[in-house]
Structures are given as structure tokens and as C-alpha cells.
């Protein structure tokens, strides 16, 4: 059955993931995590370190198998570990959801030029991989001919992240999951990449799931925000509302912890301790 055009693109329902620790106890990394993302929408997932953000992000792309809960993309069950696990199924998920990691140095092959890297990604998914196709992808992320023939170590951090985004887009996915994708970049490069992602979303209609510990990053490019704490969702809603009128004390605490003009570290510390 084809889903209704206004049905959410991504539906995550009651996701739960626990890890067995040495000694036999279990750590709950995510519990009862539910949210939806509209076609071409953007969701920010925020929370302190260890709150379960990456666990959720990695489950979305099939790197983690949840204990329970479901992930549905465009009406199809894409819960990792559910059903057959064939190469065909993996490719089907990859065509729908792509991920960009914090450190492109780790995820890019150091031996390949940008051009070769993109050619491989295009071919893997049966897309045309001629030079004009590759150059138009590079152009979409603001990389030119010099960068096309450079290897990762010959690119700046921002350029490497642009290449990682281009590789994810090569597949023409419906959803791009970005886990701390700008965290390692300096503030001005961060702003450029965020602007680029926003443009790409408008041009291609790809939906974004943007994981960040940094509220100011999420603020700029997401419509909706979900706040996680110790594996559970404590608050979710339109980004503007969550940041301007947070309902949960933990969200207020997170907001107070962001250094900005007039910020008082002692007050933030006192509230964190309370
Ligand atoms: N493979 C694993 N085995 C055991 N525990 C794990 C494993 N992966 C993650 N955890 C634990 O699960 C919890 C959630 O981790 P997760 O990486 O999702 O947090 P996060 O919100 O992404 O944090 P950060 O902002 O530091 O990246 C943490 O307590 C973490 O120690
Ligand atoms: Mg993380």
C-alpha cells in the first residue's frame, strides 16, 4: 500500500536498546524513544553526553539492532534485524537513509580521491557515475575541480565533511542522519556547513535528523527538536518553542549551560547541581 502523501516519512516507535555490561547488569541506552519526521522535514536530537543520541542515530541506519520497537520509512518496516538480512535489504535501507559521522577522516578511504569516492558510491547504488554526474554532486556541496582530484589528507576538515555529505547524497536518500557532523569544525566552518545542509534540504527535499550536544547548532537548521536524557525523551516539539519556552527542567538546564552573552558559569553550575 502506498502511504498517504502527508503521512510522516520516518516513524520511530518505542525504540529500546540495552547493553549487557561486564558483571551481567544491563544499561538502558534508549527506552521508549518515539518520534516522526515529515517528508523534507528536519529533527534535532539533543542531550548531554551519554543520553542515547548516537544509539538512536545508529539504529536508524541499521548499525545497531534494537531490543524492541520499530522503524518505518515511507510505510515500509526498516527495523534493523527484522526480517531477512540480505544485501538487497541493506542496500534498500542505505538508499533511503544515509549517515554522516563526526569524523570524516575515519569514514573516508584515505587512498581515494573525491572523484573516485563518489564514483564508487554512485555505482554501488546503480546511479550514473560519469564525470559530469560526479562534478554536479561536488558542486552541490561547494567543492571544485581541485578538490575533486584530492585525497582526504589534502582537504581541510570542512572540505572533508562536504565530501562525506556528497557521498551520502550520491545515493539520493530520503533521510540524512548526521551525528555531531559539525562538532569537530570551527565555528565559521560550522556555520557554512549548516547553511549548506539547509540549502540541500530545500533543493532536494531530503529530510534531516541532526544529532548534536550543541543547542545552538540545532537551533539553526531544525524544525523539530527532541531532548534526550538517560535514554529517554524528556521533551519534543517545534525547535523555536522548545528553545524559547522549554517545558522540562532538564531542557532549561541544557539551555542554561550554553555559554552566551551574559552567561554566568556559577549560576549554571549551581542549577546543574540542584
Ligand atoms: N557498545 C556499547 N556497549 C555498552 N554500552 C554502550 C555501548 N554503546 C553505548 N553505550 C552506552 O549507552 C549510553 C548511550 O550512549 P550514546 O553513544 O548513545 O550517547 P550519546 O548521547 O551519543 O553521547 P555523546 O554526546 O557523548 O556522543 C552511554 O551510557 C554509553 O556508555
Ligand atoms: Mg554520540
Higher pLDDT, 272 or 199: 199
- Distance, CA 54 to ligand 2 centroid (Å)? 4
Is 151 a pocket residue for ligand 1 (Cβ < 6 Å)?
no
Q: Which of 57-66, 95-104, 128-137 has the lowest mean pLDDT?
A: 95-104
pLDDT over threshold 80, residue 268: no
* Closest ligand 1 atom to Cα of 213: 25
Of the candidates 193, 106, 186, the one whose C-alpha atom is nearest the C-alpha of residue 152 is 106
Q: Are the CB atoms for 46 and 218 separated by under 8 Å?
A: yes
Task: Taking residues 238-261, report their average pLDDT.
Answer: 87
How sure is the predictor about 263, in pLDDT bands with cuts at 50, 70 and 90?
Answer: low
Name the residue at shortest CA distance from atom 12 of ligand 1: 29
Higher pLDDT, 22 or 264: 22
pLDDT over threshold 70, residue 265: no
Task: Taking residues 228-234, report their average pLDDT.
Answer: 97
Q: At what angle do helices 157-169 and 187-204 cross, to 10 degrees?
A: 20
Is 51 a pocket residue for ligand 1 (Cβ < 6 Å)?
yes
* Residues with CB in 5 Å of ion ligand 2: 54
Residues with Cβ < 8 Å from 134, sequence gap 6 or more?
115, 118, 119, 122, 148
Q: Are the CB atoms for 42 and 223 separated by under 8 Å?
A: yes
Task: Taking residues 159-173, report their average pLDDT.
Answer: 95
Q: Which of 97-111, 115-129, 248-262 has the lowest mean pLDDT?
A: 248-262
> How far apart, in whole angstroms, are the C-alpha atoms of residue 156 and residue 150?
11
Tell me the pairing of strands 42-46 and 207-211: parallel
How sure is the predictor about 274, in pLDDT bands with cuts at 50, 70 and 90?
Answer: very low
**pLDDT of 94:** 85
pLDDT over threshold 50, residue 22: yes
Classify the phi-psi angles of 74: left when phi > 0, otherwise alpha if psi is within -120 to 50, otherwise beta.
Answer: left
Average pLDDT of the chain?
90
**pLDDT of 115:** 97
Is 29 a pocket residue for ligand 1 (Cβ < 6 Å)?
yes
**pLDDT of 264:** 64
- Distance, CA 29 to ligand 1 centroid (Å)? 6
Task: Taking residues 124-135, report their average pLDDT.
Answer: 93
pLDDT over threshold 60, residue 273: no
Assessment of whether the complete model's pTM goes beyond 0.75: yes
Task: Taking residues 217-240, report their average pLDDT.
Answer: 95
Is 129 a pocket residue for ligand 1 (Cβ < 6 Å)?
no
Amino acid at each position: 500500500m502506498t502511504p498517504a502523501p502527508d503521512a510522516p516519512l520516518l516513524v520511530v516507535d518505542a525504540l529500546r536498546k540495552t547493553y549487557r555490561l561486564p558483571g551481567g547488569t544491563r544499561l538502558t541506552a534508549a527506552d521508549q524513544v518515539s518520534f516522526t519526521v515529515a517528508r523534507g522535514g528536519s529533527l534535532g536530537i539533543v542531550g548531554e553526553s551519554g543520553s542515547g543520541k548516537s544509539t538512536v542515530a545508529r539504529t536508524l541506519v541499521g548499525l545497531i539492532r534494537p531490543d524492541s520497537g520499530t522503524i518505518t520509512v515511507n510505510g515500509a518496516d526498516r527495523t534493523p534485524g527484522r526480517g531477512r538480512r540480505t544485501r538487497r535489504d541493506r542496500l534498500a535501507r542505505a538508499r533511503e537513509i544515509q549517515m554522516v559521522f563526526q569524523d570524516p577522516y575515519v569514514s573516508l578511504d584515505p587512498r581515494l580521491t573525491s572523484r573516485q569516492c563518489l564514483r564508487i558510491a554512485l555505482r554501488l547504488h546503480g546511479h550514473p557515475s560519469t564525470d559530469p554526474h560526479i562534478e554536479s554532486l561536488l558542486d552541490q556541496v561547494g567543492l571544485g575541480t581541485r578538490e575533486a582530484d584530492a585525497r582526504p589528507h589534502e582537504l581541510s576538515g570542512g572540505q572533508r565533511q562536504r565530501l562525506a555529505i556528497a557521498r551520502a547524497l550520491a545515493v539520493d536518500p530520503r533521510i540524512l542522519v548526521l551525528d555531531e557532523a559539525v562538532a569537530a569544525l570551527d565555528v565559521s566552518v560550522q556555520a557554512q556547513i549548516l547553511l549548506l545542509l539547509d540549502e540541500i534540504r530545500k533543493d532536494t527535499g531530503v529530510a534531516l535528523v541532526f544529532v548534536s550536544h550543541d543547542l545552538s547548532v540545532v537551533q539553526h537548521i531544525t524544525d523539530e527538536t527532541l531532548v534526550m536524557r538517560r535514554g529517554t525523551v524528556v521533551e519534543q516539539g517545534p525547535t523555536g518553542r522548545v528553545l524559547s519556552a522549554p517545558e522540562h527542567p532538564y531542557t532549561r538546564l541544557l539551555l542554561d549551560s550554553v555559554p552566551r552573552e551574559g552567561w554566568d558559569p556559577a549560576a549554571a553550575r549551581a542549577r546543574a547541581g540542584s
